Structure 1
Amino acid sequence: MKIKNLYTPFEISLLEADNYIVQQHKNTYFEMVYILEGKGIQIINSHSLDYSPNKLFLLFPQDTHGFEIKETTRFFFLRFNESYLKTQSKEWLQKLEYIFHNHDHLPGCILKNVDDKQLIRALVEALLREQNREGVYQAEVLQQLLNTIITIAARNIALIHTAENYRPIQTLSVLGYVHQHIYSPETLKIEKFAAYFNISPNYMSEYFKRQTGESLQQYVNNYKVLLIENRLLSTSYRLSEIAAEFGLTDVSHLNKFFKKHKGISPSEFRKNQNK
């Protein structure tokens, strides 16, 4: 299977294709695909679903994906890799993580707000125009438009999870709460967690472990370690900044927490991965 790489922080492209199969492949970067015109089938990790105009798809590194084109299709591709994250604010990075760690990787449009479909189209068209325009601050404008698209995607995924909270408690909504509040340790205490879902703390603990195979604290710690790893690999944040972001008292606390779960210090981890 073909593997595709991206050699710039981000890339914007337009593809018009007719009556052929875009072979399944894997990327080493993140990708959003917006359908401007056309119809066909989107395939992600062996799942298939029809696509049509004004649909936005979210693809992850190592997802296997492709398209079967039934009618001439204009695809808009927005791609970015980890180096792009280094240029962004901490707040924006957290929005990005909320998308990537909450989404279910199944095929289908992530836009649940009908009005946002036209908003995304307007932003896509603006990106394409700006890409072909030479002038001062072009890169800055492109990045602002790109980030707006990602933020709208985050808003729509948040809408999906909000809707789930009105149904009987489900694993995804419980995990979504963890993902959304990982930067606020106080909100992840079992009492506040249970109060949010309006159930007893004892039942919350039992339900969480039954559904995930881990206790709430184990899951929170494992998820926090994963995000800290991303910070160490994808950003140039100082250890003191990372500690503060995740509610750890200082660098010593960060070192102790990370070493307990990974067996090495954050500095050693960053150094080893950057060799």
Structure 2
Amino acid sequence: MTRINLYQSFVLHQYQFDVWEFEPHNHNFFEIIFIEEGTGYHTINNVRFKYKPKDIFLIAPEDVHNFEIEDRTTFTYFKFTETLFTQNKQLPDRAYWLHRIEHILHNPNLMPGDVINDENDRKLIWQIHEVVLSEYVSDEPYSKNIISNTISTILSLIARNIERSYRKNRTKYTKKSSRIDDVLSYIRTNVYEHELMKTNEIANSFGMSANSINALFKRETGDSIRQYIENYRMQLVQYRLRNTDQTIAEIAYELGFTDESHLTKVFKKHYQITPKVFKKANNAPA
């Protein structure tokens, strides 16, 4: 499996192919892929589906993907790492941006494919895409700030479309399944707010007692609420260790651990390895 690394915070590439020239690969950065023209198939993590002009794809680090081209296709790629946002002091701080992208990546209803379901949002994103193209080519003063702001806006629109699809798909569930799905969504959305992660607070949000919500959660997921929250936090810790330059102490603070030692103890219990060793093994700065 080919892994491609990006050593800049943002790169824009445009390709036109009759035949796809790259083997399936993953990478250490995000990609927003715009289909300017052409048709074919896009496979992401072994899921294959047809693409067409004006489709938009979000590819996360570790996603494996490739294209099969039917009609000559022109692609525009926005490739970026989280440092694109954290270098811009005019944007919300790093933690806010990480919360946004993590919510997108860990939403279980995000399936491979065109990520936009609202045509007005699609038109808006394509307009923003033109701004990014212009600023990238011109490289004028403040171009980097403008690009980071516009990419942040695109990600917010993508997140809105994912949430819209999530709410629409909830109608397929039974009442019981819908209730547990609401609880899971609450946890994923508020995992950074430590007070809101207390069992009593979660129960109050759904008009239930702590015992009732614990029983429901255990019955529907097989885990206690506390165990689920810990497991989910471990997913976020792994993501940050792989894809950001945050220190272990910073990660521990943001995700509600007492200190770096506490995080190390929990991480080692889950993965039999310390965060420091994991970070080094994944080619990230310690």
1:117-136, aligned counterparts within 5 Å?
117-136=122-141
Q: Render the CA deviation track for 1:158-200: whole Å, top value 9, x for unaligned.
A: 2222334444325765433321110123333445545656777
Letter in 1 for 2:3: I
Q: CA deviation at 1:226?
A: 3.5
Partner Cα separation in structure 2 for residue 75 and residue 228 of structure 1:
33
1:42-61, aligned counterparts within 5 Å?
42-61=42-61
- 8 Å CA contact retained: 2:110, 2:162: no
Letter in 1 for 2:26: N
Partner Cα separation in structure 2 for residue 47 and residue 271 of structure 1:
31
Q: 2:70 corresponds to which residue?
A: 70
Q: Which runs of 5+ in 2 are unaligned?
A: 88-92
1:35-114, aligned counterparts within 5 Å?
35-81=35-81, 83-84=83-84, 86-87=86-87, 89-104=94-109, 106-114=111-119
Q: Give secondary structure in 2 for the equivalent of 1:11.
A: strand
Letter in 2 for 1:185: H
**Does 1:26 find its partner at 2:25?**
yes
Q: Render the CA deviation track for 1:80-136: whole Å, top value 9, x for unaligned.
A: 235446536321121011111115563221112221110111111111111111321
Partner Cα separation in structure 1 for residue 21 and residue 275 of structure 2:
41
Letter in 1 for 2:58: L
Q: Give secondary structure in 2 for the equivalent of 1:39.
A: strand
Partner Cα separation in structure 2 for residue 196 and residue 67 of structure 1:
44
Q: 2:194 corresponds to which residue?
A: 185
Partner Cα separation in structure 2 for residue 211 and residue 9 of structure 1:
41
Distance 1:210 1:187, change over 3 A: same
The structure 1 residue matched to 2:152, chosen from 147, 155, 168, is 147
TM-score for the superposition, normalised by structure 1: 0.81
More deviation in 253-262 or 88-97?
A: 253-262
RMSD: 3.2
Q: Render the CA deviation track for 1:238-268: whole Å, top value 9, x for unaligned.
A: 83x65553355xxxx2245313312488778
Partner Cα separation in structure 2 for residue 102 and residue 83 of structure 1:
22
Letter in 1 for 2:236: L
Q: 1:261 corresponds to which residue?
A: 266
- 8 Å CA contact retained: 2:25, 2:66: no
- 8 Å CA contact retained: 2:20, 2:67: yes
Partner Cα separation in structure 2 for residue 92 and residue 42 of structure 1:
28
Q: Render the CA deviation track for 1:186-226: whole Å, top value 9, x for unaligned.
A: 33344554565677765643453455443221121122234
Letter in 1 for 2:217: F
Q: Give secondary structure in 2 for the equivalent of 1:106.
A: coil
- 8 Å CA contact retained: 1:26, 1:61: no
- 8 Å CA contact retained: 2:245, 2:285: no
Percent same amino acid among aligned pairs?
A: 31
Partner Cα separation in structure 2 for residue 78 and residue 6 of structure 1:
12
- 8 Å CA contact retained: 2:14, 2:75: yes
More deviation in 225-234 or 192-201?
A: 192-201
Q: Render the CA deviation track for 1:45-102: whole Å, top value 9, x for unaligned.
A: 2211111122211212222211112222221211123544653632112101111111
Partner Cα separation in structure 2 for residue 211 and residue 194 of structure 1:
15
Q: Render the CA deviation track for 1:19-39: whole Å, top value 9, x for unaligned.
A: x24544222222121222222
Letter in 1 for 2:15: L
TM-score for the superposition, normalised by structure 2: 0.78
